[in-house]
Structures are given as structure tokens and as C-alpha cells.
Amino acid sequence: MKKKTIALISGGISSEREVSLNSGKQVYDALDKTRYDILTYDPKTDIPRLVSDAGRIDCALIILHGPYGEDGTVQGLLDLLDIPYQGAGVLGSAVSMNKLLSKHLYERAGLAVPPYVVVRRGESIDGSRIVSQLGLPLVVKPVETGSSVGMSIVRAEATLAAAVEKALEFGTTAMIEAYITGTEITCGVLGNQDLEALPLIEIIPGKDHEFFDYEAKYQPGATQEICPARIDAQLTQKAQACALSAHTALYCQGYSRTDMILKDGTCFVLETNTIPGMTATSLFPQSAQAAGLSFGQLLDRLIELGIEVRRRQTTRG
């Protein structure tokens, strides 16, 4: 079989640059060198080179998180250059990056989401009304960042305004959500037309972390991750069905990972990641492993699925 030329794209200019570089290195190590020639690009410096190499690239792996990577921008560039890539296209990436739009689409798909209030920059908030509506604690988050950046848990009305101000440093819109106390899980979905939900992972942030915050996400050992989650078969199936609906509702392709909290049999959907963490020990690769796919085999599959999507789009006429 002829070797494929893969453009491995990592780094970039978002606050998740370091995470991306680390993942990129691990993806490089795991890719099967007998099947692939690998060219590496950092969008911070290498876009002109990517453009000039486009004609000889068979597929790109976008290992970028956050704005200018996971949000449809790089996907749009690759579409223009006619380079297939793994995962969601422009639309699914842009929609999933925006937690508010995502919520609207989850709700339309009949999925449960934590009750919420939206705050836009420049608007004043009525703290006591919000607390009487949503209760305490509250979770305040920017609408367009990932990795828990700019997010706070608010336990008293007096600290709500400061938390909103902090979230609004990261964008023009913030969400205030009811805090859901339950079992946090995440569910990977893999496939194009035939979607498969992967085994659930249960996430238990260590006691030093109020929630699955930035350190809990990236500090080894800071969080306990149990795969498959210790949840009965019926609820497991329900949560997997929610992840499949979320994937479809948000126009995702190829793969995605949906974060959820289970409480009293209800599955509250938090968000869908279109480029989930991609180190060998990240959540999505862990659950793929539990389903029988090694990290290297998962990358093979993502490349295949990416090429298949592009082929379908270009033969649509």
C-alpha cells in the first residue's frame, strides 16, 4: 500500500497551545511510520508552508484546541486547500465551540441541559433573581473557551458579579448555570454514517479541585478516570444515546466527546468536544482502547473517516 502523507497540525495561538504541542508530539509517536509520511505544521508560523505543500497532503490531523483550531477556522482553510482532515467540518466545529449555540441545539434535540441564564458584556445582572431562579452553587463560564478557562463555581450571591466579570474577559457572552451535583461522565462517539458510542468514562476530580478544572484536566494523577464507568447497563445505554444525539445535533463528523453529568437518572449534557484531548492517556483514546482500538489504530480510523467524508463531499456534484 502506498504511504499516505499526513499533515500533523499542532501548536497554534490559543491558550491551549502547550497542551496542543504535547498532544501533537504523542500523535507523531503513535502514528504508524510504515503507513504514513508525516509533515508537521504549527499554525503560529507555518501556514504559508502548509498552503504550498497542500497538493501532496493526503489528510491532515488537526491537533489544536480552542479558538483558531477547534472552532472551524483551520477546517475552513483545509477545505479551501482541498485537504481532508479528521473530525467535524467548519459548521460542526464552530457550533460546538460555542456553548450557548450548543445548548440551543441540545434542547431542540430533546436533551437535558443544566438550567442557565445568559449574560452579555455591558449588561447588568440581578444576582438575587438569578440565585432564586437557579439556586446555589452556580457555575459561571465563558461561552467560547475550553479547558475550564475563565470558569468559576459561585457559592454565594456576593461573588457572582466578579465571576461573571472574569468569564467576560474571555469573550462577549457568559453563561451562568445551575451546579449539577451528580456523576460526571464523558462519552466518545466514533464514525461517519454508522456512529458508535464508546464506553463511558467516569471522571472524579481529586479533592484539591472544585471541579474538572484546568489543573485537574492536565496534571497527571489530579483526576481519577474510570473506564468503563461504574454505571448500570441501562443508564450507560441512555448516556451513550445522549452522546450520539449530541454529536448529530451539533453537526459533528468522524468523532466527538460529550461531557455530561448524571443525576437521578437524568443525563445533563454540558458540552461536546470536536477535537478531544489526544495524548495517549487522554479520555477519548482511553475509551477507544477499552473498545479495542490502540492509540495508533484510533489515528488510522480517524484518517480513514476524514478521507471518506471529503470523498463524499467532492463526489456529491
Ligand X SMILES: Nc1ncnc2c1ncn2[C@@H]1O[C@H](COP(=O)(O)OP(=O)(O)O)[C@@H](O)[C@H]1O
CA distances to 39, 93, 123 from 119, rounded to whole Å, are: 43, 23, 7
Decide: is 139 part of the binding site for ligand X (CB under 6 A). yes
Q: Is 135 a catalytic residue?
A: no
Min dist CB 259 to Mg ion, Å, is 4
CA distances to 9, 45, 85, 90, 199 from 250, rounded to whole Å, are: 24, 31, 18, 11, 21
Stretch that binds ligand X, among 31-39, 100-108, 179-187, 297-305 (CB under 6 A): 179-187
Q: Which residue among 10, 12, 14, 16 is the active-site one?
A: 16
Number of H helices, E strands in the chain: 11, 13
Contact 256, 250 (CB under 8 A): yes
Q: Nearest-CA neighbor of 224 among 236, 207, 248, 241? A: 207
State the residues that interact with Mg ion by CB under 5 A: 259
Decide: is 226 part of the binding site for ligand X (CB under 6 A). no
Q: Is 147 a catalytic residue?
A: yes
Alpha carbon 64 to chain centroid, angstroms: 10
**Between 17 and 56, how does the x/- string for binding to ligand X read (CB under 6 A)?**
----------------------------------------
Q: Which does 261 bind (CB under 5 to 8 A by kind): Mg ion, ligand X, none?
A: ligand X
Buried b (16+ CB within 10 A) or exposed e, 31-61: beeeebeebbbbbeebeeebeebbeebbbbb
* Closer of 78 and 270 to ligand X (Cβ): 270
Exactly one of 28, 68, 179, 251 binds ligand X (CB under 6 A); which one?
Answer: 179
* Closer of 41 and 284 to Mg ion (Cβ): 284
Exactly one of 71, 259, 274, 277 binds ligand X (CB under 6 A); which one?
Answer: 259
Verify cis geometry, omega within 30 degrees of 0, for the bond prior to 137.
Answer: yes
| Binding footprint of ligand X on the chain (CB under 6 A) | 114, 139, 146-148, 151, 177, 179-180, 184, 211-212, 259, 261, 270-271
Which residues are known to be catalytic? 16, 147, 218, 257, 259, 271, 273, 277
